[in-house]
Amino acid sequence: MKGTVRYLAGIAGPSGFGSKSTAQQVTQHCLPPPPPSSSSPTPLTAIITGATSGIGEETATVLAKRGVRVVIAARDVNKASRLKQSILHQSPDAQIVVLELDLSSFASIASFSRQFLSLGLPLHILINNAGIYSRGLEFSEDKIEMTFATNYLAAAIMGHVRMLRPSWPPFCMPRSSPDSSRQGMQK
Ligand SMILES: NC(=O)c1ccc[n+]([C@@H]2O[C@H](COP(=O)([O-])OP(=O)(O)OC[C@H]3O[C@@H](n4cnc5c(N)ncnc54)[C@H](OP(=O)(O)O)[C@@H]3O)[C@@H](O)[C@H]2O)c1
């Protein structure tokens, strides 16, 4: 009950943030500002699914603003390209890559993985944000119930994309890592 009231009122919790905190406020002290030029240190790279609307769009926009290279993985590449333009309008130095990905299709996930790996980019952050709620009984092209295929199986498979290149740094740096404060990552 108390928690609900705090939530509705937007009162900050132990993290210092509440339900009225914005993504910009939450990331304010976490990541470095956008690099001023291409000679700046290599940025973090994030893949985000479902960035073409809602929470994903906001997350992609704010990460780009904080200097993260954002890979927008979207089934609708036209929508994703429009988002890219909108982000570049706000953050002209942002590095945005658009790749096609339909999470309800194993073939599409495999194709996305191949394309991403061919870019030779590291992967520091994977945000499995995309999700659906299928009201009727629908099946994916792989004959798996659609919500399960999209929200769960796809997210699990996406987690393996980074494993294809074992030399990549881990998602979460230990607190003691000299880089952890700079990259804003904690275990
Ligand atoms: N908003 C809430 O209050 C809330 C509460 C609890 C959990 N969530 C979860 O948080 C996540 C984001 O929520 P939201 O409200 O921002 O969702 P949203 O506005 O409905 O956006 C969903 C995103 O997922 C993408 N997507 C759906 N199916 C896909 C597929 N097969 N392949 C690739 N992309 C696909 C959509 O792409 P298209 O643009 O192509 O449709 C869209 O970009 C979802 O997983 C949702 O279940 C949200």
Domains of the chain from N-terminus onward = 43-171 (3.40.50.720)
**Cα(35)–Cα(28) distance, rounded to whole angstroms?**
15
**Cα(26)–Cα(180) distance, rounded to whole angstroms?**
17
Q: Which of 55, 112, 141, 144 to mutate to test the pocket of ligand 1 (most atoms within 8 A of CB)?
A: 55
Q: How many residues does the chain have?
A: 187
Give start and end residues of each alpha helix (H) in the chain.
2-9, 23-27, 54-65, 77-90, 106-118, 146-147, 154-158, 180-183
User: What pLDDT does 186 receive?
Assistant: 34
Pocket of ligand 1 (CB under 6 A): 49-50, 52-56, 75-76, 79, 101-104, 129-132, 150
Q: What are phi and psi of 97, to 5 degrees?
A: -120, 135
For atom 46 of ligand 1, the residue with the nearest CA is 131
User: What pLDDT does 153 receive?
Assistant: 94
Q: Per-block average pLDDT, block size 10, for the chain (187 residues)?
A: 88 91 85 58 89 96 94 98 97 96 95 93 93 93 96 90 55 39 37
User: What pLDDT does 65 receive?
Assistant: 93
**Cα(58)–Cα(80) distance, rounded to whole angstroms?**
13
For atom 2 of ligand 1, the residue with the nearest CA is 55
User: DSSP state, 149?
Assistant: I
**Cα(30)–Cα(14) distance, rounded to whole angstroms?**
17
User: What pLDDT does 160 receive?
Assistant: 81
> Could you tell me the pTM of the whole model?
0.84
For atom 19 of ligand 1, the residue with the nearest CA is 54
Structure tokens at 85: 């333009």
Rounded to the nearest angstrom, the distance between the alpha carbon of 37 and the centre of ligand 1 is: 33
| Torsion angle defined by CA atoms of residues 45, 50, 53 and 59, in that order, rounded to the nearest 10 degrees | -30
**Cα(28)–Cα(79) distance, rounded to whole angstroms?**
27
For atom 13 of ligand 1, the residue with the nearest CA is 55
User: What pLDDT does 99 receive?
Assistant: 98
Cα–Cα distances in angstroms (integers) from residue 177 to residues 24, 43, 169, 172, in the given order? 25, 17, 12, 10
